[in-house]
């Protein structure tokens, strides 16, 4: 009986302090692992295409696309690092030690915070482009956007360092036994985190996109009213407006999908662990991660330039010396 008990422990030599090996139902374990693995693979592959496209082709070096590039990098890291480690953490004992556990939680927090910050920046970009189009070229430049992206990631690092300070100073302080990797905060800290990383950004995003929607509807009506009496110069202006409105609509879809994927996760986090069973919680987490996979699919659906870039990448035409000048 003792030998059998030892076999069920993560560290048999530590009888009194070792965790038991996770033993979820076989079908549930396979389903969750296949689901998470599929999301991870698709997230890495699709976001890598976005990163290569925007980085390689000079025509795509625009302020808006720089923000999309930053978002793609955070999504890529979710698929490459966060999801695989999450699969390992949920399906087996944690053999990597307390320090690696703390670092994993720290990196996950940085990536998530950066993604939310990117969404806010995208909303600000669309707000200025639609609501103040005359000053957009001077107010939103590539250098300013790059600076904002760097500040976004820096703030994510600083916030995560403060939020996880105790766990970084004393790794494994919340682990109940050897072979475990958990993170716990008190309810007050969780509410503060919810306000800073979700409620405030979401409020800003909703307010900005509501303004964008109102102005976009007004501009669309104006364009339809004057469409019959346009000069060549005005025609170009209308084309530019149409392009900006289309970009606003596409990025609006991106933001809506983001809210749909993130809201259940934060609601469950606030409600507490006992609100859902382990199986349901896994699907809420998978929806949270699935957002990183959906973003490039939205680009492929709404952006012709992304589809053209994929074609050039898949056919290896980007290996040509002058491929970065391609008209996309």
3 occurs within a structural domain: no
Q: Is the pLDDT of residue 133 over 50?
A: yes
Q: Please give the tally of structural domains in the chain.
A: 1
The mean pLDDT value of the chain amounts to: 82
| pLDDT at site 5 | 57
133 occurs within a structural domain: yes
Q: What is the Cα–Cα distance from 169 to 264, expressed in whole angstroms?
A: 31
21 occurs within a structural domain: no
Comparing 214 with 44, the larger pLDDT belongs to 44
Over residues 262-277, the mean pLDDT reads 67
16 occurs within a structural domain: no
Neighbours of 13 (CB within 10 A): 9
Q: Work out the pLDDT band at 267, boundaries 50, 70, 90.
A: confident
- Output the domain CATH number for residue 276: 1.20.1070.10
167 occurs within a structural domain: yes
Over residues 243-260, the mean pLDDT reads 73
| pLDDT at site 1 | 41
Q: What six digits make up the tokens of 287?
A: 């929806």
Domain housing 54: 32-325
Query: Which residue, chain included where needed, has tokens 């110069």?
Result: 233
Q: What is the Cα–Cα distance from 255 to 289, expressed in whole angstroms?
A: 15
Q: Is the pLDDT of residue 130 over 60?
A: yes
How many angstroms from the chain centroid is the CA of residue 105?
16
Which pLDDT tens digit goes with each residue over 46-100? Answer: 999 999 999 999 999 999 999 999 999 999 999 999 999 988 888 888 888 889 9
303 occurs within a structural domain: yes
């Amino acid at each position: 009986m003792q030998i059998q008990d030892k076999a069920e422990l993560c560290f048999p030599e530590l009888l009194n302090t070792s965790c038991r090996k996770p033993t979820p139902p076989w079908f549930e374990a396979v389903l969750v692992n296949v689901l998470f693995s599929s999301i991870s693979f698709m997230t890495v592959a699709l976001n890598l295409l976005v990163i290569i496209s925007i980085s390689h082709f000079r025509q795509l070096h625009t302020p808006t696309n720089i923000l999309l590039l930053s978002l793609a990098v955070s999504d890529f890291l979710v698929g490459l690092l966060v999801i695989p480690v999450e699969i390992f953490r949920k399906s087996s004992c944690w053999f990597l030690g307390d320090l690696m556990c703390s670092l994993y939680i720290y990196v996950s927090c940085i990536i998530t915070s950066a993604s939310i910050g990117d969404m806010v920046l995208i909303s600000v970009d669309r707000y200025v482009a639609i609501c103040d189009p005359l000053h957009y070229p001077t107010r939103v430049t590539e250098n300013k956007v790059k600076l904002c992206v760097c500040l976004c990631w820096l703030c994510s690092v600083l916030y995560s360092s403060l939020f996880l300070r105790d766990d970084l100073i004393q790794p494994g302080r919340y682990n109940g036994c050897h072979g475990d990797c958990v993170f716990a905060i008190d309810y007050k800290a969780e509410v503060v985190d919810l306000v800073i990383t979700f409620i405030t950004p979401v409020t800003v995003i909703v307010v900005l996109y509501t303004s964008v929607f109102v102005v976009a509807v007004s501009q669309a009506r104006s364009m339809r009213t004057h469409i019959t009496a346009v000069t060549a110069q005005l025609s170009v202006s209308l084309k530019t407006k149409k392009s900006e409105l289309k970009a606003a609509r596409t990025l609006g879809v991106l933001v809506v999908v983001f809210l749909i994927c993130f809201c259940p996760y934060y609601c469950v986090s606030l409600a507490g662990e006992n609100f859902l069973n382990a199986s349901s919680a896994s699907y809420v987490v998978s929806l949270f991660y699935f957002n990183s996979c959906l973003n490039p699919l939205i680009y492929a659906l709404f952006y012709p330039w992304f589809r053209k870039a994929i074609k050039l990448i898949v056919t290896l035409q980007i290996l040509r010396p002058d491929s970065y000048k391609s008209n996309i």
